[in-house]
């Protein structure tokens, strides 16, 4: 039910951000005028980021798509005409029926990610629809799949130290995460710890905002984190700084690991990582002597060819020191495994007649769209913007340009992807919806109920997929279920000990309800690994064809272990494109206020790399490799080690398609988890006035 009154209403931030803030939406004359942090939310505590403080601009943006549209121009041109919902639904279901008749349902592929983290929106009615349709399935591994796999081999589930505890740590290592921009409330907690005397160490390839805030910043070469962690283990074992009682009780494989890390001397690790040997020793000593060391494992170190192993190696560290038993100590990669909703009830896999339907990896959508043997004939894109976020943009774009491909995009905006749609459907913003949210970092579950009426003819994901389901003739009650009833389905999961505290009533009354965390203290005694212990040696990994213990493996595209790029002469520099401060992936990339705060796409380049190329600060440069080109402004400085160049933010295509970082990135999959390898990329950089010499 939409609240017609003015006033201040509770809401939830729907963005793919670990903080999942509780919000207050301020409404005047029926319109949202301000968005603030909810002071009562135990993690948000009234503070939210700049992106969402400016959310009203996005909600009421002139360019919001408010009506269904049908393409009138060429694919990619962006010319559309307004149609009715009836026409849109008829066209979509008509095309789907024809495609299923001619090619089978697997010729239809949904493509989605977490543009809205609401469980009903992205793991709810949408899944029911594609299950009932029998469509191809999507491996959603673009974000954290490699790291999660590496963590899980070691710890069993996506569960680690909970946020509030981290204020009791005395050493905090932020490893490959730019938390000032991407997890601001962890910074607040770390600041509390710091006031009590804790030291903050940042290990990253870039002196970003977080590194500038740290007590000690350790720059390293990209994709060498496993080597650094192994070097630390070497020192910890050698100097007797391990907690042997903990190792004996809670781990398997510590004796094998002790032998194994003997090879990773600080001197050898220094050559691999670029970190001076004495700093490796000092880092291990600070960590080994900490009372309660906490490691925040970010996403950066796992977007690599060897990303799973990087996280696996770092995840072993707290087991060596026994930090897990100390208040505030331990580590977290993702805490998404505490809240576990009843996904069978939500997604209804039982509606699918072809459980063996093929799965397509979302990182390789370009390849899938070029597959002629079992072609994809229809795509349904929602909560994602693949033409900006997926690797190897040119290849993906060629796929989307196929004349025989029928594409529907459901979004709030005419994204770069929507320009390739045959039909665009207008999506509501979160403030127009009912949905259920959990965080992959903190333990509060929240409900969103509509604060304003849908703008124009926008519809939520739940509405769209139930409408399409009914129009396809799916007569199961699942397609008429209300949002509130779906929330009750989701909460009903007696198998999870963490869900006992939740009910729809409690959520509606309190807005945020903490998971039942009584099992947390027993966490180490019930690790869901095959041995029930922390697996420093993993037989499961051997079975999967992986080394059973952490190792350093050089990148396929990147440095070879001695800081020489594999394709040295052609593409000697490593190119990294992590998120920026004011966008959320590609979201906000079209909002003038956010664009202004980020100025323009910028390439951070070291003076030692700029000088031989005659590149000056502020000058336009072209970054290129065999996949494509990206034009940006050079920012010459020493914020990374020589040989690495960095551009933050997923900008939209820009004039003549010059602005996308993913033009340069590979669609190879990571060592485990079938994850993305965005950051294992080599390039050349030249002044804009010179022609790039591109070789395939
Ligand atoms: N402002 C903002 N916040 C966001 C997002 C956003 O786009 N903007 N995106 C959201 C999403 S979806 C996610 S997954 C998270 C991601 O947030 P984070 O966990 O912070 O991960 P990234 O920003 O991808 O990368 C973090 C850092 O890793 C560094 N890095 C790259 N390669 C390596 C390496 O080999 N080793 C090491 N040690 N560091 C490396 C990068 O330089 C970067 O500073 O943030 C979420 N929050
Ligand atoms: N080069 C490079 N590429 C990257 C990354 C990187 O660091 N570097 N990061 C990667 C990571 S970690 C991630 S998670 C992915 C993120 O990739 P995506 O999940 O695609 O994220 P966004 O670009 O934010 O796109 C989300 C889209 O969903 C739309 N949307 C929002 N709410 C709704 C809704 O309720 N319904 C519908 N139908 N649509 C909605 C938004 O308007 C937006 O267009 O990008 C990846 N790509
Ligand atoms: S983007 Fe993150 S920090 Fe900003 S309001 Fe949303 S959840 Fe909070
Ligand atoms: Mo992500």
If pLDDT is split at 50, 70 and 90, which confidence band does 1 have? low
Residue 336 has pLDDT above 90, yes or no: yes
Q: What is the token pair recorded at 587?
A: 């979201």
Closest ligand by atom to 182 CA: 1
644 forms bridges with which residues in the sheet? 574
Give the span between the Cα atoms of 597 and 582, in whole angstroms.
7
User: Three-state DSSP class for 127?
Assistant: helix
Q: What is the token pair recorded at 112?
A: 């989605």
**Secondary structure (H, E, C), 492-510:** CCCCCCCCCCCCHHHHHHH
**What is the model's pLDDT at position 689?**
82
Burial 11-23 (b: 16+ CB within 10 A, else e): bbbbbbbbbbbbb
Ligand 1 test: best mutation among 112, 160, 176, 584, most atoms within 8 Å of CB?
A: 176
**Range from 38-47, 478-487, 654-663, 673-682 carrying the lowest mean pLDDT:** 654-663
Query: Residue 52 CA: which ligand 3 atom is closest?
Result: 5
**What is the model's pLDDT at position 572?**
95
Q: What is the token pair recorded at 6?
A: 């003015």
> Is the beta carbon of 229 within 6 A of some atom in ligand 3?
no
Residue 696 has pLDDT above 70, yes or no: no
CA-nearest residue for atom 11, ligand 2, is: 143
CA-nearest residue for atom 32, ligand 2, is: 116
Interval 501-535: pLDDT, tens: 999 999 999 999 999 999 898 889 989 999 999 99
Q: Is the overall model pTM greater than 0.95, yes or no?
A: yes
218 forms bridges with which residues in the sheet? 203
CB 306 within 8 A of CB 671: yes
Ligand 2 test: best mutation among 52, 61, 115, 603, most atoms within 8 Å of CB?
A: 115
User: Token pair 């600060």 is at which residue?
Assistant: 617
Query: Residue 183 CA: which ligand 1 atom is closest?
Result: 47
- Mean pLDDT for all residues in the chain: 96
Residue 559 has pLDDT above 90, yes or no: no
> Is the beta carbon of 49 within 6 A of some atom in ligand 3?
yes
CB 387 within 8 A of CB 119: no
CB 660 within 8 A of CB 630: yes
If pLDDT is split at 50, 70 and 90, which confidence band does 65 have? very high
> Is the beta carbon of 156 within 6 A of some atom in ligand 1?
no
> Is the beta carbon of 51 within 6 A of some atom in ligand 3?
yes
Interval 567-607: pLDDT, tens: 777 999 999 999 999 999 999 999 999 999 999 999 999 99
pLDDT over 90 for what percent of the chain?
A: 95
CA of 296 to the centre of ligand 1 (A): 12
> Is the beta carbon of 487 within 6 A of some atom in ligand 1?
no
If pLDDT is split at 50, 70 and 90, which confidence band does 337 have? very high
User: Which one, of 354, 398, 402, 358, lies nearest residue 377 by Cα?
Assistant: 402
Give the span between the Cα atoms of 33 and 53, in whole angstroms.
10
List all residues whose CB is within 6 A of at least one atom of ligand 2: 16, 113-116, 121, 142-143, 299, 382-385, 388-389, 410-413, 415, 427, 461, 577-579, 584-587, 650, 661-662, 665, 678
CB 346 within 8 A of CB 127: yes
Other beta carbons less than 10 A from residue 100's beta carbon: 19
**Secondary structure (H, E, C), 284-347:** HHHHHHCCCEEEEECCHHHCCCCHHHHHHHHHHHHHHHCHHHCCCCEEECCCCCCCCCCHHHHH
User: Token pair 């009138």 is at which residue?
Assistant: 72
CA-nearest residue for atom 4, ligand 3, is: 49
Residue 691 has pLDDT above 80, yes or no: no
User: Three-state DSSP class for 8?
Assistant: strand
Q: What is the token pair recorded at 649?
A: 């933010």
Residue 544 has pLDDT above 70, yes or no: yes
**What is the model's pLDDT at position 2?**
64
Closest ligand by atom to 11 CA: 3
If pLDDT is split at 50, 70 and 90, which confidence band does 94 have? very high
Residue partners of 672: CB distance under 8 A and separation at least 6? 146, 149, 150, 153, 308, 309, 312, 544, 546
**What is the model's pLDDT at position 389?**
98
> Is the beta carbon of 223 within 6 A of some atom in ligand 1?
yes
> Is the beta carbon of 222 within 6 A of some atom in ligand 1?
yes
Strands 682-687 and 573-576: antiparallel
């Amino acid at each position: 039910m939409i609240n017609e009154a003015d006033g201040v209403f509770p809401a939830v931030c729907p963005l793919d951000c670990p903080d999942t803030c509780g919000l207050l939406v301020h409404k005047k004359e029926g319109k949202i005028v301000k968005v603030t942090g909810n002071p009562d939310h135990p993690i948000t505590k009234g503070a939210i980021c700049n992106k969402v403080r400016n959310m009203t601009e996005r909600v009421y943006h002139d360019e919001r798509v408010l009506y269904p549209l049908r393409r009138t121009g060429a694919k990619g041109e962006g010319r559309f005409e307004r149609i009715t919902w009836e026409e849109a639904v008829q066209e979509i279901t008509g095309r789907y029926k024809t495609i299923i008749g001619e090619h089978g349902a697997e010729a239809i592929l949904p493509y989605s990610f977490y543009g809205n983290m609401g469980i009903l929106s992205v793991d709810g009615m949408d899944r029911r629809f594609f299950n009932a349709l029998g469509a191809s399935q999507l491996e959603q591994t673009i974000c954290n799949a490699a790291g999660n796999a590496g963590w899980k081999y070691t710890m069993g589930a996506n569960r680690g130290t909970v946020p509030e505890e981290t204020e009791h740590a005395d050493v905090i290592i932020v490893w490959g995460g730019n938390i000032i921009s991407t997890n601001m409330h962890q910074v607040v907690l770390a600041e509390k710890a710091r006031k009590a005397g804790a030291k903050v160490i940042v290990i990253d390839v870039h002196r970003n905002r977080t590194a500038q805030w740290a007590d000690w910043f350790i720059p390293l070469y990209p994709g060498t984190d496993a080597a650094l962690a192994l070097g630390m283990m070497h020192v910890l074992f050698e100097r007797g700084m391990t907690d042997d009682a903990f190792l004996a009780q809670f781990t398997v494989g510590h004796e094998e690991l002790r032998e194994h890390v003997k090879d990773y001397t600080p001197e050898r690790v220094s050559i691999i990582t670029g970190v001076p040997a004495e700093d490796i020793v000092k880092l291990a000593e600070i960590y080994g002597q900490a009372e309660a060391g906490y490691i925040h494992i970010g996403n950066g170190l796992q977007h690599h060819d060897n990303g799973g192993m990087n996280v696996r190696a770092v995840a072993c560290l707290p087991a060596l020191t026994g930090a897990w038993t100390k208040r505030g100590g331990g580590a977290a990669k993702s805490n998404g495994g505490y809240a576990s909703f009843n996904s069978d009830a939500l997604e209804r896999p039982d509606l699918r007649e072809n459980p063996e339907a093929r799965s397509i990896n979302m990182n390789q959508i370009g390849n899938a769209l070029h597959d002629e043997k079992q072609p994809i004939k229809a795509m349904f894109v929602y909560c994602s913007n693949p033409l900006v976020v997926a690797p190897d943009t040119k290849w993906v774009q060629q796929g989307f340009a196929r004349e025989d491909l029928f594409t529907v995009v459901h979004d709030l905006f005419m994204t770069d992807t929507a320009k390739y749609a045959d039909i665009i459907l207008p999506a509501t913003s979160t403030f127009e919806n009912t949905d259920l949210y959990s965080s992959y970092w903190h333990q509060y579950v929240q409900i969103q109920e509509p604060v304003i009426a849908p703008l124009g003819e926008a519809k939520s994901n739940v509405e769209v997929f139930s409408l399409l389901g009914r129009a396809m003739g799916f007569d199961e009650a699942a397609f008429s279920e209300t949002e509130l009833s779906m929330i009750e389905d989701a909460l009903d999961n007696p198998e999870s000990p963490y869900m006992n505290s939740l009910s729809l009533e409690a959520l509606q009354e309190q807005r945020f309800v903490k998971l039942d965390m009584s099992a947390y203290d027993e966490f180490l005694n019930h690790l869901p690994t095959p041995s029930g212990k922390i697996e420093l040696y993993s037989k499961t990994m051997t079975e999967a064809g992986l080394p059973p213990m952490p190792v350093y493996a050089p990148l396929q595209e990147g440095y070879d272990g001695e800081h020489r790029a594999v394709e040295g002469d052609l593409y000697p520099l490593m190119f990294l494109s992590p998120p920026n401060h004011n966008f959320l992936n590609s979201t906000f990339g079209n909002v003038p206020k956010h664009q202004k705060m980020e100025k323009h796409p910028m390439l951070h380049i070291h003076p030692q790399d700029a000088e031989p190329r005659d590149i000056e600060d502020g000058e336009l440069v072209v970054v290129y490799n065999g996949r494509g080109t990206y034009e940006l402004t050079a920012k010459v400085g020493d914020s990374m080690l020589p040989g690495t160049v960095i551009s933050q933010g997923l900008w939209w295509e820009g004039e003549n398609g010059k602005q996308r970082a993913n033009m340069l990135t590979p669609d190879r999959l990571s060592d485990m988890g079938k994850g993305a390898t965005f950051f294992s990329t080599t390039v050349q950089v030249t002044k804009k006035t010179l022609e790039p010499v591109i070789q395939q």
